[in-house]
Amino acid sequence: MNLTFETSTGAKVGAALDDLARLRAEVFRAWPYLYDGDPGEEADYLRSYRDTPGAILVAARDGNHTVGCATGMPLACHEDAQDVPLDKLGLSMDAVFYCAESVLLPGYRGQGAGHAFFDIREAHARELGYTISMFCGVERPDHHPLRPEGPRSLIPFWERRGYVGTEAFIHMTWTDLDRDTPTEKPLRVWVKHL
C-alpha cells in the first residue's frame, strides 16, 4: 500500500471533515478511547477546524480512499485550551500548537503515516511561529474491563519523536462503549520543543 498525504488549511479543511468524522467514530471505538461516537455529532464538533485560522488537516489516502487523518490548530483557538494547565508547565498559550486527533485504520499502521502526520503538523506549526507542539493522550487503568490482551502502547513512538509526557492532565467526558452515560477521563499532556 502506497499512502499519499494531502494537507488542507482554511476553508479547504471543510471538504475533508466528513472523512475525518467517519474515521474518528470508527478508530476511537478501539482501545484506549472506547468512544461510542456518532459521525453526525463528530462533524459538528470538527467544524472548528474549517473556521480556525492556522488549523490544519492532514489526510492519508490509499488511492481514492481516505484511511487516516490528523489535525492541529493553535492551542489558543481550541475549545479545550482553558483546561490545559500551562502555568504548571511553564508555557505560554501563544507558543503552543495543539496536535489534536491522529486516526488511522488498523491495516495502515506501521507504514510511516504516524511520522508523516507529526512531520507535517510540526512543520506547519513552525511556519506559523510556534515553538511548542502539544497533544493529549488518554490514560486507562491496567485493570480496565475492556482492555485488550497486550495492547500496543504509543508511548515509545511519541518519545522517539521527541515528545515528553508531563505530569499535567486535562479531563474530557465521553460515553464509553460499555456505558450508557458519559464519564470523565484523564488525558496526559505531551509536549515537544520545536
Name the percent of the chain lying above pLDDT 70. Answer: 98
- 79's torsion region: left (phi>0), alpha (psi -120 to 50) or beta? alpha
C-alpha span between 116 and 67 (Å, rounded): 14
pTM over cut 0.85:
yes
pLDDT (tens digit per residue) in 143-165: 887 788 878 889 999 999 999 99
C-alpha span between 12 and 8 (Å, rounded): 6
C-alpha span between 146 and 176 (Å, rounded): 10
**Residue 139 scores a pLDDT above 90:** yes
**Residue 45 scores a pLDDT above 90:** no
Q: With the C-alpha atoms ordered 150, 27, 183, 179, is the resulting torsion angle positive or negative?
A: negative
- Cα Dmax for the chain: 45
The pLDDT of residue 98 is 97
Cell 482492555 found at: 147
pLDDT (tens digit per residue) in 19-43: 998 999 899 888 888 888 776 677 7
Question: In this structure, are residues 150 and 63 in contact, taking their beta carbons and an 8 Å threshold?
Answer: no
Q: How sure is the predictor about 114, in pLDDT bands with cuts at 50, 70 and 90?
A: very high
The pLDDT of residue 41 is 74
**Residue 103 scores a pLDDT above 90:** yes
Every domain of the chain and the residues it spans: 4-193
Domain 4-193 has CATH 3.40.630.30: yes
**What's the distance, CA 31 to chain centroid?**
14
